[in-house]
């Protein structure tokens, strides 16, 4: 496993993070980093611990060992500053279906202390950027699954975070919607310098040059680029490398 040295341009740095639910260990000494302006895929089977990790970074659960730093801010000592630099899209839908698209965004902005006039301006700009500018007055329940995800990303960007976490964001989406969502997130990385941690069990969502962290049964098994991980395992492709890392047989079906 190749180590990663965090520096001033590190959007997220997790060091020796462990967590348990009763007697069940969910995360075991997890260390990883996400550079600013880079796309990092957190790759693991269902149950690997990806959602638990996100819950700790967003303080839905309190970490008891290890450390989490967001843009240099220690989450335990300076939670306000850390969370202010963070945007998140959870796997479960969290929009209010009976509010309009614009209302969903403005309400979220006020929770971050953004005044109404500024919140409305940012909401309008982000709706346009998401391709939803003409739908601002429509209720969220009228959106397709892909449109809902784009709205959730717009909402996560309202307070201009430098780190974006997405937990299995393409679950339930068709191929076209998945590709559109990936393209938009990669644009944020390339054009706006946002650091992204994209949690997925879908190998096909990992692109050339992407950084990859393989999480399995609560432990990090590898950290590398996609190409480095494949070469390090002496595998033909990422699917084969992943199977070797997690101990699946060569004939077992890896994630798509």
Q: Which two tokens stand for residue 54?
A: 């996100």
Strands (E), the chain: 10-21, 24-35, 39-43, 65-70, 73-74, 86-89, 163-167, 195-200, 211-216, 219-225
Gap between the Cα atoms of 249 and 243, Å rounded: 7
In this structure, is the dihedral angle defined by the CA atoms of residues 186, 187, 193 and 195, taken in order, positive or negative? Answer: negative
Assess whether pLDDT exceeds 90 at residue 6: no
Assess whether pLDDT exceeds 90 at residue 117: yes
pLDDT of residue 256: 55
- Of 216, 207, 202, nearest to 254 by C-alpha is 202
Of the pLDDT bands very low, low, confident and very high (cuts 50, 70, 90), residue 254 is: low
Domains of the chain: 1-85+161-247 (3.40.50.300), 96-160 (no CATH)
pLDDT of residue 1: 46
Rounded to two decimals, the pTM is: 0.90
Of the pLDDT bands very low, low, confident and very high (cuts 50, 70, 90), residue 5 is: very low
Mean per-residue pLDDT for 145-161? Answer: 94
88-105 pLDDT, tens digit each: 999 888 899 999 999 999
Assess whether pLDDT exceeds 90 at residue 122: yes
Gap between the Cα atoms of 124 and 89, Å rounded: 19
Main-chain dihedrals φ then ψ at residue 56, nearest 5 degrees: -75, -40
């Amino acid at each position: 496993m190749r180590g990663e040295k965090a520096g001033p341009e590190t959007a997220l740095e997790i060091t020796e993070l462990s967590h348990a639910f009763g007697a069940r260990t969910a995360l075991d000494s997890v260390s990883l980093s996400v550079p600013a302006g880079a796309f990092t895929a957190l790759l693991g089977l269902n149950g690997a611990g990806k959602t638990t990790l996100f819950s700790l970074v967003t303080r839905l659960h309190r970490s008891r060992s290890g450390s989490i730093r967001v843009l240099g801010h220690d989450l335990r000592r300076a939670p306000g500053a850390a969370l202010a630099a963070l945007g998140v899209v959870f796997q479960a839908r969290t929009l209010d279906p009976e509010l309009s698209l614009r209302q969903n965004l403005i309400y979220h902005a006020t929770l971050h202390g953004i005044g109404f006039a500024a919140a409305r301006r940012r909401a309008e700009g982000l709706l346009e950027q998401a391709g939803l500018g003409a739908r601002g007055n429509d209720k969220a329940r009228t959106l397709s699954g892909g449109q809902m995800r784009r709205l959730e990303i717009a909402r996560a960007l309202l307070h201009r975070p430098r780190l974006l976490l997405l937990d299995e964001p393409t679950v339930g989406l068709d191929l076209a919607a998945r590709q559109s969502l990936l393209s938009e997130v990669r644009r944020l990385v390339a054009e706006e310098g946002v650091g992204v941690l994209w949690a997925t069990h879908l190998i096909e969502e990992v692109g050339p040059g992407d950084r990859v962290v393989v999480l399995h049964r609560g432990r990090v098994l590898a950290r590398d680029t996609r190409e480095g991980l494949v070469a390090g395992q002496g595998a033909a492709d990422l699917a084969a490398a992943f199977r070797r890392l997690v101990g699946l047989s060569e004939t077992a079906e890896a994630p798509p």
